[in-house]
Amino acid sequence: MKRDVILRGLICGGEVSLAVADTTRLVNEAIRIHGLSPLSAAALGRALTAAAYMCSSLKEERGVLSLTIKGNGVGGTVCVSGDKALHMRGYIDEPHADLPPNAAGKLDVGGCIGREGTLTVVRDDGEAIPFVGTTELVSGEIGEDVAAYFAYSEQRPTAVAVGVKIGTDGRCLGAGGVFLQPMPGASEESIAFAEAQIAEFAAVSSLMEACTAEEVWRNFFGDPAAAESFYAQYPVYKCNCSRDYIEGLLASLGEEELASILREQGKIDVHCHYCNTDYEFTEEDVRRMLAARRKERNGAKDDTLRPE
């Protein structure tokens, strides 16, 4: 299977920023982790693709971004997070959402997301001063909603086409997107070109099934080598949780709070929505964890006290 990639560069004499993304593997990994229905896979896959594009614009290595779509559709809330390295992860409230095909005979992503609600982006370029932007949903189709976010929240008009194609076996056959963003001071001619070109990508997922991202670029925009500032990035599905990470979060609650939870429940269960992983901590686990943290704070180390 092709490797996922986001190709970026400047075209039209440097007046338009272009990105072509193939996210087929990313979507298939989300399907595997969450057991997604075709409809939920299409919705979450489009959100993952859009967020991966946004993450590819982060300026600092420590940059992180989250995209949350809260609509009134059957799928519930969609949450996606990623970083500058394009380590992406996400989930949808209802992984098994289902609806009849829409009027065009395709998966009804708009009905899954809903046409009333909000799209919120939280972006931190590594300076610990996050930018938060929220816009109303336009259609629930995600591509149009992301375009509206760029136009109204960041004042950067952007033509967006994202798509996910699911086969009869439930796997993703093709997923990706095309993003065209006129640079400040772009000519009317370049802006008109971007608007006209995006209309060619109504079936971008089928293009990604049949072609590589480089072939799509070459077929519609010419030789990538002719683009200015051309580069490639490679998104992967990767959650940043681990047992050690969860231990740190639990330790931050304090001994009294942890003791209260143990008295009520007998153990502590933590579920990571992003990678669908369950963590269980018994009373003995918590005792060892707190003892290890105390020793670390006192400058002593005793690895035998840390849970395996």
- Residue 290 has what pLDDT? 84
pTM: 0.90
Q: What dotted CATH number matches 5-237?
A: 3.55.30.10
Question: Mean pLDDT, to the nearest integer, of 157-162?
Answer: 94
Cα distances from 34 to residues 67, 170, 235, 272, in angstroms, run: 18, 12, 18, 11
Residues 68-99 have pLDDT tens digits of 999 999 999 999 999 999 999 999 999 999 99
pLDDT band at 306 (very low <50, low <70, confident <90, very high): very low
| Ranges for all domains in the chain classified under CATH 3.90.1280.10 | 243-305
Total Cβ atoms within 10 A of residue 104: 8
Measure the CA–CA gap between 287 and 121, rounded to whole angstroms: 39
Domain limits, CATH 3.55.30.10, in the chain? 5-237
- Alpha carbons 51 and 38: distance in angstroms, whole number: 20
Helical ranges in the chain per DSSP H:
24-34, 38-55, 109-113, 143-153, 188-198, 204-210, 213-221, 243-251, 255-265, 283-297
**CA nearest neighbour of 92 among 148, 37, 173, 137:** 37
Q: What pLDDT does 202 receive?
A: 86
Q: Tell me the CA end-to-end span of the chain in Å, nearest whole number.
A: 36
* pLDDT score, position 32: 97
Domain 243-305 has CATH 3.40.50.300: no
pLDDT tens-digit map of 192-247: 888 888 888 989 999 999 999 999 999 999 999 899 999 999 999 999 889 988 98
Q: How confident is the model at residue 294 (pLDDT cuts 50, 70, 90)?
A: confident
Mean of per-residue pLDDT scores for the chain: 92
